[in-house]
Amino acid sequence: MFRLVSFLILISLIITGCSGDDRGLAPVSGTVLFNGKPLPNAGIIFTPDQDNTRVGVGSTDKDGKYRLTSFQINDGAKIGKHTVTIRAYETKDGPPKAADDITNVQGKMITPFKYARPETSGLKADVAKKNNIIDFELKD
């Protein structure tokens, strides 16, 4: 009986995995504020400080909320320290257009340019092996 229970426990550990996401990812979400207000339609990128081969990307909704994707939708970002960039542009009224639509013209950048470059953003995040909620407050 003891052997059977031990065997079943071992099998369940193998099936479910002991170390979480084998790609080294953890869920990341949060809110982006600009001058104290939610920032809609902003692009956000988490670039790992150690190995920047796989970034986590996302975009904010109308309430400034985002969720990151690295491989599959909303799977998060690599565990570790990241440099973060955020940028948002003025948008025209109407339905969104595909990124490759030749009539899709970006408006003026509404976030300060410093937040769009890793060298100048000053935004950092530490993604832990848990459900991470990381908020950002951008100022003009």
Q: What is the CATH number of domain 23-93+101-138?
A: 2.60.40.10
DSSP H helices in the chain: 2-16
pLDDT in tens, 91-133: 776 655 555 556 666 788 999 999 999 999 999 999 999 999 9
Q: Are 124 and 85 in contact (CB under 8 A)?
A: no
- Return all residues near 38 (Cβ < 8 A) that are at least 6 apart: 31, 32, 60, 62, 63, 64, 65
Q: Which pTM does this prediction carry?
A: 0.78
3-state secondary structure of 136: strand
**Buried-exposed string 59-78: b where 16+ CB fall within 10 A, e elsewhere:** bbeeebbbbbbbeeeebbbb
